[in-house]
Structure 1
Amino acid sequence: MGSSIAKGMKENQKEMQKEMQKKQLDMMLKQRQTQMAMQFASGKEFFHWYASFYALIFPFCIMGALKKKSPLPIIPLVPLGFVCGYQYDMYYGDKLQRIREEAERLIDREPQLFYFPKNAHIVSQEEYEEILGINKNNK
């Protein structure tokens, strides 16, 4: 009788641990999602301010170039335009998807890029490969 109670308690404890791990994972994923959403929203907000600044200085640079009869005032528009285009692509285009796909490719095909230095004392190379499921034959 005592062994069956102990057995039942062990099974119950294992189920509780699994449930607790699931709750922790759920909370971690929700926290990650919230942090990413905040960063993304912050980036969009920054883009709006930056694009407004660019739209404001654009006509002044053009007028300055026409007034001075020199292309020098237009030169700052080129790098500023690239930055504005990059941010637009990131927050309203598909740049984030392209970055995610490249990250997945790097993890799958070039995992050695993410190895710890030999003397990091965090985890051994073998443990790292075992945790991530890296097959040594795929290197």
Structure 2
Amino acid sequence: MGNYLSINMEENFKKNQEFIQTINKIKMERQIQLQFQLQERQMAMQLAKSRDTCLWFTAFYVTAAAGLLTGFRRTKRPYLLMPLIPLTFITLYNWDMAYGNKVHRIRMEAEHIMTHEADSLEWPCGLPTPSSVDLGRLDVEEKKKIHPPLM
């Protein structure tokens, strides 16, 4: 009777282990998918913000250019047109970021760095380990015990 019971328990244990492994696999896949979708949404928000900034800055540029050109026509002083030089570069940069392929060029440069210059992406002192995280947490708790906050 004990032999039958132990075999049955071992089978249940193996089934539970397999079940836990499949659950963990599904959980990891869901976390990866969630992180990917959040990253996509964040990129979309950044692009929308860039486009909105571009429109506002373009309106400012057009207004400033009209005022500066009007001032130049009246006074014929060329220094009034000098602010248009940096404003033109800034406006074109914003347009390239919002509607051009600057995001694609940035992504390509990031991929190049990741494949050819991976050593520059390493963390100082390596990746944190669970033991180093626990050690840091215990250190903070110890400091709180030594120096309690004043209330």
**Paired residue for 1:33?**
40
Kindly indicate whether structure 1 or structure 2 has the higher relative contact order, using CA contacts under 8 Å at least 6 residues apart.
Answer: 2
The normalised TM-score by structure 2 is: 0.75
88, 94, 97: which one pairs with 1:90? 97
Matched, 1:10 2:17: yes
Matched, 1:45 2:52: yes
Tell me the number of residue pairs that the alignment of Structure 1 and Structure 2 aligns.
122
112, 116, 131: which one pairs with 1:109? 116
Structure 2: which amino acid aligns with 1:28? Q
**Could you tell me how far apart the structure 2 residues matched to 1:42 and 1:27 are?**
22
**Could you tell me how far apart the structure 1 residues matched to 2:126 and 2:66 are?**
57
**Paired residue for 1:64?**
71
Specify every segment of 5 or more residues in structure 2 that has no aligned partner in the other structure, as ranges.
Answer: 1-7, 130-151
Largest Rg, 1 or 2:
2
Cα displacement (A) at 1:86: 0.5
Cα displacement (A) at 1:115: 2.4
RMSD (Å) for aligned C-alpha atoms: 1.6
Structure 1: which amino acid aligns with 2:60? F
Cα displacement (A) at 1:122: 4.3
Q: Which runs of 4+ in 1 moved over 2 A?
A: 120-124
Residues 108-131 of structure 1: per-residue CA shift (max 9 Å, x gap): 1111222233xx46449xxxxxxx
Cα displacement (A) at 1:81: 0.6
Residues 4-51 of structure 1: per-residue CA shift (max 9 Å, x gap): 111011000000000011111111111111111111111110100000
Structure 2: which amino acid aligns with 1:12? F
Q: SS at the partner of 2:77?
A: coil
Cα displacement (A) at 1:59: 1.6
Q: Equivalent pairs: percent with the same residue?
A: 29
Structure 2: which amino acid aligns with 1:7? K
Structure 1: which amino acid aligns with 2:118? P
